[in-house]
Amino acid sequence: MTTQTTTEPTVTPAGTDLTRLSLNTATTKSWTLREAVDGAVRAGLPAIGVWRDRVQEAGVAESARIIADAGLRVSSLCRGGFLTADDDAAAAAALDDNRRAIVEAATLGTRELIMVVGGLPAASAPGGPALPGTDGRDIVGARRRVADRIGELAPFAAGHGVRLVLEPLHPIFAADRAVISTLGQALDIAEPYPADVVGVVVDTYHVWWDPDLQRQIARAGAAGRIANYQVCDWTLPLATDALLSRGHVGDGYIDFATITRWVAQTGYAGDVEVEIFNQSVWDTPGDETVATLADRYVRLVLPHL
């Protein structure tokens, strides 16, 4: 696997404005939830974005207590979704799991449940080979099922004060992780519902390439649907597992100044989450990783917010 080399972190000066910066627990993969919370507090971060695996390890109620006792807010819970199954039993299981995720989000005190909607039923697993045969390759039908199942989940989410936050993923992941590839597609699915029930996340890694991005960010902002802004960089060469090709802001090809200005121009005033999947980042001591992401945020993102 090819990994990304990063420069030594610069210590973020005391008094620097980190009031909108959130550590996503995927970035410090080796840390438990408590370790991630403690690391965020040490670095002066006010928020944390939580993955469900860390919550389930500690228990939902205990996770909520750990985070609340530290005085952090939860910028998001990741993830719900995987709604594309084309058989009744798998669809019912997915809906049940998403209802559990909604309850978890409410218990943790976050309104924002990130939804990675799922790939084609022909995928054997995320990152896996296609199943034999010709079934499960209808991407139009898969997108239609996503829309239908968001409709089934929306009343339950609204009843718990939770927003379903659709995340378009880069087209490289359309087969196995998300048949929604653009912010425009996500907004089309969200449009029938109130903005506080179904929203979208702008994740630079997934949408930076989209020639219609400026217009779609403006559209999302005008409708009040931007629920989260996630930042990390697109690095090359791609890792053997393309999912692990994210890098620290500034290590790759993304124009953070422009995209951040587009988001800021909508009036978005929420958290900015750093979510990185990269083996070399995961192998780095967590405090060093947090110091690096804070420094990159201050230098390359914050001036444009």
Say what the pLDDT of residue 13 is: 53
pLDDT (tens digit per residue) in 39-66: 999 999 999 999 999 999 999 999 999 9
Nearest partner of 289 among 89, 68, 7, judged by Cα? 7
Contact 295, 251 (CB under 8 A): no
Q: What is the mean pLDDT of the chain?
A: 95
Lowest pLDDT segment from 13-27, 106-120, 160-174: 13-27
**Over pLDDT 70: what percentage of the chain?**
95
The packing angle between helices 60-69 and 33-43, to 10°, is: 10
Which is higher by pLDDT, 2 or 87?
Answer: 87
What homologous superfamily is domain 21-130+155-304 in, according to CATH?
A: Divalent-metal-dependent TIM barrel enzymes (3.20.20.150)
Confidence grade of residue 16 (pLDDT, cut at 50, 70, 90): confident
Considering the entire predicted model, what is its pTM? 0.94
**pLDDT tens digits, residue range 159-210?**
999 999 999 999 999 999 999 999 999 999 999 999 999 999 999 999 999 9
Say yes or no to pLDDT of 38 above 70.
Answer: yes
Of residues 201 and 133, more confidence is placed in 201
Residue boundaries of the structural domains of the chain: 21-130+155-304
Residue 134: the pLDDT is 81
